[in-house]
Amino acid sequence: MTLQELYRMIGGDYDQALRVLRVEKLVDKHIRKFPQNGTVEELLAAGENLDSKRLFESAHALKGISANLGLVRLSETASRITEEYRPGSGRKMTDDEVRALLDSVREQNEIIVEGIRLYSEG
């Protein structure tokens, strides 16, 4: 499987990742590291008790990481959580809506991590 095939499989935007990281070798290096980075796990842990500060911080971090890697859908979902918990702005979503977004993050992450596993195995 090529790197571009991986991106198609996981619904990512290879061209966006390449624009940010500039060299395919760096895209390859950083996408392989994504499963170990821990940001998704931090976000999901913060979501267990809807810890506003931790949700904002971990969603904001995930938004940036996933945008840089061209993981557009994941970045967009993380962005919605970020904006929901941005300090100084009022909540607009219900707790159930936030939990649904967190479930979406979990599902997207599983697809991405499985795709990366298959890609890494060659």
* d(C-alpha 67, C-alpha 90), whole Å: 25
Q: What average pLDDT does the structure give for the chain?
A: 97
pTM for the whole structure: 0.95
Angle between helices 95-121 and 39-48 (to 10 degrees): 150
Per-residue pLDDT band at 67 (split at 50, 70, 90): very high
Q: Give mean pLDDT, residues 64-93.
A: 97
pLDDT(108) > 90: yes
One-letter-per-residue 3-state SS of the chain: CCHHHHHHHHCCCHHHHHHHHCCHHHHHHHHHHHHHCCHHHHHHHHHHCCCHHHHHHHHHHHHHHHHHCCCHHHHHHHHHHHHHCCCCCCCCCCHHHHHHHHHHHHHHHHHHHHHHHHHHHC
**Cβ atoms within 10 A of the Cβ of 94, count?**
9
Domains and CATH numbers, the chain: 3-121 (1.20.120.160)
pLDDT at 70: 98
